[in-house]
Amino acid sequence: MLDFLGTISWWVWVLIALAIVAIRDVLQKHHTISHNFPIVGHLRYWLESIGPEMRQYFVANNREELPFNRIERGWIYASAKNENNYEGFGTDRDIFQHQHFFVNNAMMPHEIKDENHPNKIDKSFLPCAKVMGEFNKRRKPFRPASIINVSAMSFGSLSAKAVESMNKGIKLADAYHNTGEGGLSPYHSHGGDVVFHFGTGYFGVRNADGGFSLEKLVELVEKKPFIRAIEIKLSQGAKPGKGGVLPGAKITQEISEIRHVEIGKDVLSPPNHKAFSNVPEMVEFIEKIAEATGLPVGIKAAIGKLDQWKELADIMQKTGKGPDFITVDGGEGGTGAAPPSFADHVSLPWVYGFSDLYKLFKDKGLSERIVFVGSGKLGFPAKAAMAFAMGVDCINVARESMMSIGCIQAQVCHTNRCPTGIATQNKWLQNGINPELKAQRLAQYYKTFRKELIEITHAAGYEHPCQFKMTDIEINIDGNDLAKDLSRTYMYEKTKVPFNGMQSLKDCKYLGGVK
């Protein structure tokens, strides 16, 4: 029999294999295309599966793709590798299109004359101009040492090597790393500043019944002094107001220990918090955490209706209590997978959501006491300049950080098949990540970002981006031949941020980063 099989040509074996596939296709009833077009139908599913890659490489032009086009991705990749990130022969962007904005440069740019100025020594030195927790007199205030930081992304959603790369990178860049709601993992613990973030699942600070444990949070903060602030997630841009389920099959021994959940048992993250059910209770919850830990405490949310935000502002105005910082997430969506109906339609895009919220707090006289953090495709220097002009004090970036360590926008984050090993728990795919190299690249992207933002700031006549005014940015509005500045577009004026020079920020005893 073996001798007979050995005489059969290789092409006959191919035909036999194809015949088996064809018979299987005809007999199965799950896929109409495969049934009606045996063998050939598989080509359709394969081409569909690699559609995003094919479009970005061969079909779409430089400015066409979403969420990030080729020019944007190329700038991040080149910046992370410390390569030439310039473009020649002028812009290929339609600068008259709706929502295109312009930074008004000064006739005489800002000049650094002092040879001991922090930006003469380090061209990327750019801390936050405000201190988290200063107004509320928290015991451990925190001034972020970088205005660009890693946004909330959990271990579990991201791979261990991706999280490790980012944490080592933010240590090199003197930024901070937001843990995301999956708890503090060993991969977040390589020396960089950390903002501990939790949502309705209370992962990492969770009781056996799924409720919040203040004792576990205090114990965590005491054991991990690199935790510099705490963020409570109310909602996120990708799916505001929607809960989620962590399937028991995904809960390994490691994830069980990090998140404080049972192995093999499905875990629900409900849309609502158990620890509070209304705005006054939320404020008391914030104050209880701040008192117990001494750390600044903030909230993160995507913006829609403003009624409860007005209630929060009234309570803060009346009592002097409330969050030390507010992270505004854009409805553009992010690393969190969501149904298209949520990602496309629920909550406002960042510019509309932030402007509505900032205006509300400004009108109540509260904008000076809050550190505003922007999160929503702001990982480019010019976009950051616009965000600072609108009132932002810091920005968090998620997908841009992922791209700096190798993400190719394959858009399969939710399938566990990320080809770069970043958004998957597949060990083989993770093996392609070299944490030491990727840490260098994330740090270089952050440093390049800050350097170019400083250059834009100087071109506008300022020393720090916190000095940008609404009138410094003009934006194209549909139906108008002339661009309008941001104050006329969004109908408010930004509150002036107290600033006494870069040297005062460098000398601040609350400054984060590696000392």
DSSP state string for 221-260: HHH-TTEEEEEEES--TTSTT--EEE-GGG--HHHHHHHT
Pairing of the two strands 193-198 and 227-233: parallel
Nearest of 346, 443, 187 to residue 451 by alpha carbon = 443
Instruction: Check residue 261 and give its pLDDT.
Output: 84
Side-chain half-sphere CA neighbours of 375 within 13 A: 31
The model's pTM is 0.89
Residue type, position 91, single letter: T
Instruction: Check residue 90 and give its pLDDT.
Output: 84
What is the phi/psi pair of residue 140, to 5°? -130, 70
For residue 158, the 8-state DSSP code is: B
| CB-based contacts of 330, cutoff 8 Å, min separation 6 | 237, 302, 347, 348, 349, 350, 351, 353, 354, 375, 376, 377
Q: How far apart are CA 509 and CA 145, in angstroms?
A: 11
Q: How far apart are CA 193 and CA 226, in angstroms?
A: 5
Tell me the domain boundaries of the chain. Answer: 1-59, 100-507
For residue 48, the 8-state DSSP code is: H
> Each residue of 96-129: pLDDT tens digit?
888 889 999 999 999 999 999 999 999 999 999 9
| CB-based contacts of 208, cutoff 8 Å, min separation 6 | none
Instruction: Check residue 297 and give its pLDDT.
Output: 98
Q: How far apart are CA 296 and CA 287, in angstroms?
A: 10
Instruction: Check residue 228 and give its pLDDT.
Output: 97
What is the phi/psi pair of residue 227, to 5°? -75, 115
Side-chain half-sphere CA neighbours of 449 within 13 A: 31
Q: How far apart are CA 44 and CA 388, in angstroms?
A: 47
Instruction: Check residue 243 and give its pLDDT.
Output: 65
Q: Is 349 left (phi over 0), alpha (psi -120 to 50) or beta?
A: beta
Question: Which residues of the chain are under the pLDDT cut of 70?
Answer: 56-57, 59-60, 238-247, 249-250, 333-338, 479-481, 515
Q: How far apart are CA 392 and CA 375, in angstroms?
A: 10
Q: Which two tokens stand for residue 178?
A: 């937001």
Q: Classify domain 100-507 at the CATH class level.
A: alpha beta
Instruction: Check residue 436 and give its pLDDT.
Output: 96
Count Cβ atoms below 10 Å from residue 224 Cβ, excluding itself. Answer: 13
Element (H, E) at 441: helix 435-459
Q: Which two tokens stand for residue 377?
A: 């495709």
For residue 330, the 8-state DSSP code is: P
